[in-house]
Chains A and B, each alone.
Chain A
């Protein structure tokens, strides 16, 4: 057995600084909020079922060395378009969800292809490019939804269309599909409702990711992620592999958005997707992932810690300062802060590793010259 020393603990903390910081925040926040364990657990279960699918979509691009896919908002937009159509057609329940997924997939593939091609032109700067691409596509989405729907794209449901006759309203009521997946199989333990079917679906995606890593394409992605030049020399189509990884991520994000919105029951047409990328990236980073390394465990740990902070912070802020608004500011500031801190730490670690490697190389070369 490996001996636990002060140095090893220090290294463990240094490697998981964000996670440790969140554990400390939650450790202080939980008693301050005064929430019962039952309330916190049920809140966390709801948020795991709501967000995990979306966050899982980030794993494959990380595997392919493309960093955190801020372009997942493109998939979220595709999912929302699917939901707008099924609501217009008055289709409800699980068939509505399936139909929304079927509609979203081709749109996600198209947007994923576009995103992948652009990211191939911006190698090494994928994250910032995908982030800005998300803003650009948000403009296109708004153009389509605000001006195209109801005028060029037929929308007959008057409750969806703005009073002027075209464009979708700010809020779309998803009452027809609200919690249709969550309510299929429900388990109740000590009054805590567990949406089993949603967890089964999330489990299937986890199994898919584990299986995918072992496939030829998965291995190619790992090779591309480690070193693009070596992968290209080994005969792997680097650019194609990178595009496929983004397409898969976008499709999964589209489905994830549909699962997310069926849980909430309301679609905020022009805002729902904008925060999704940021919060999903923050959650996976809180779970201990980095720009180049992530696994399924990071997803679930991230959802638990990040959303625990989300639940706890307004009440903790209210009890501490007397203002719940403080908690609201706090959680937004923390989610941006987490991303910044993780990126800075990652860069620092990379620089330190490069420095150590350079020193090692220098020493080795010095030794060989002496010989």
Chain B
């Protein structure tokens, strides 16, 4: 199955059709998507700012990440499901939209950045977890993450303005 037929299949599904044809479904799902994405961005940004030593310097990094990441992942799951539903209502147009593609790519890079940071700091984090100042590696990961997620939100907004034409 190539992408074009996959998009066509998605648009023809019962949920894709319902979201496209019902006046209230799209904005309702979109509202949920926006709440979820603000939570994803906000909670990630707080951790990033701590990694950059710009806030909560007297709080352990793990003390901040443990409760917050649960919220980040829950909100991300909601954002991914609601986003997929919105996508299925007009799959081909979204799939061909430049900003949609950039948004997906940026989230992939953000995921890789997170995995690399976890991988390289899994042995050492206990030595700096309690310190106000984090190592350079942590600051770089925090800065990259923050910039990527700002760009993700921007791309998301730009999709809405480039889909109409």
A is bound by B: no
